Amino acid sequence: MSDEPILRIRGLAKSFGDNRVLRGMDLDVKQGDCIAILGASGSGKSTFLRCLNFMEIPTGGEVTHAGKTIGTARPGKPRLYPESELTRVRQKVGMVFQQFNLFPHMTVLGNVTEGLRIVQRMDRAAADTRARAELDRVGLAEKADEYPSRLSGGQKQRVAIARALALAPDLMLFDEPTSALDPELVGEVLTVIRGLAEEGRTMLLVTHEVGFAYHVANRVIFMADGLIQEEGPPELVLKSPQNPRTQAFLARHKQFEF
């Protein structure tokens, strides 16, 4: 891994009216990091990820990606974020959501090639080749011509992962990717994510799968009240947490083995 962070976050804040969801987040993400983000509902985890690929515009702080601070500073005012700049960032910071967000009228192949053809202006043959390679990576090469309605929830989520990977991002964000799945389908999605981690992909993963976080992540952060309360290797944060908030959260997850 390089010592230079691929993503540097300083003072990241987000408010919705009077509701301060993020209160000043600081985090460095290095190449090859797999960071699991834990916390109770309402702690700001999903908003944090959405601010990192600018689906939500931060109300304060800075995000520096690949050495370039995103947006333009304005004295006495929030940073200005031109849409053209955010479009480029979103191609390099892939996002996988709780819900799969697939186009029902498109085949699996069409869903994966859409971004390649529209955003990257790739020709159909090249887009198809890359899309099929990513579908093969997630174990769905044989489903390329199916429509989403004929897929299980786990298969839909794997298509969504292939779609994000096809744009060749240098950072992947996963927002509770298994929370909408039936329990028997969770494992197939986590297996794909584990494979990406083993490849050295840089990832931030919001999850309630504490055992998975222990075995796969190289760092764990625990969030509460819009702040990082504890951060460190899984062995320390999950087995010997120092923060009372972390201790209370993990005490409610004793059913997980790690």
Model pLDDT for residues 95-124, shown as the tens digit of each residue: 999 888 999 999 999 999 999 999 889 999
Question: pLDDT-derived band of residue 3, with 50, 70 and 90 as boundaries?
Answer: confident
Give residue for tokens 């011509």: 145
List, in order, residues 6 or more apart from 95 with CB less than 8 Å away: 49, 50, 53, 55, 164, 172, 173, 175
Q: Are 186 and 177 in contact (CB under 8 A)?
A: no
Asked if residues 98 and 133 have their Cβ atoms less than 8 Å apart, the reply is: no
Please, which pLDDT band fits residue 1 given cuts at 50, 70 and 90? very low
Residue 173 pLDDT more than 50?
Answer: yes
pLDDT in tens, 16-48: 999 999 999 999 999 999 999 999 999 999 999
Confidence of residue 231 (pLDDT cuts 50, 70, 90): very high
Q: Report residue 180's pLDDT band, with 50, 70 and 90 as the boundaries.
A: confident
Predicted confidence (pLDDT) per residue in 37-86, tens digit = 999 999 999 999 999 999 999 999 999 999 999 999 999 888 999 999 99
Mean pLDDT score across all residues of the chain:
94
Judged against a pLDDT cut of 90, whether residue 140 lies above it is answered with yes
> Which CA distances in Å does 163 have to 48, 57, 91, 133, 195?
22, 23, 11, 11, 16
Question: Does 257 have pLDDT greater than 70?
Answer: no
C-alpha separations of 236 from 175, 177, 230, 258 in Å:
23, 25, 10, 12
Q: What is the pLDDT of residue 255?
A: 53
Instruction: Look up the pTM and report it.
Output: 0.93
Question: Within a 13 Å sphere around the CA of 128, how many CA atoms are in the beta-carbon half?
Answer: 6
Average pLDDT, integer, range 184-202 = 95
> Which of 3-17, 27-41, 200-214, 242-256 shows the lowest mean pLDDT across its residues?
242-256
Kindly report the CA angle at 38 between 230 and 240, in degrees rounded to 5? 50
What's the average model confidence in pLDDT over 134-161? 97
State yes or no: pLDDT of 138 exceeds 90.
yes
Q: Which pLDDT score, from 0 to 100, does residue 254 have? A: 61
Side by side, which strands form the sheet with 34-38? 93-96, 171-175, 203-206, 34-38, 219-224, 227-232
Place of tokens 């995103």: 70
The pLDDT > 90 percentage for the chain reads 89
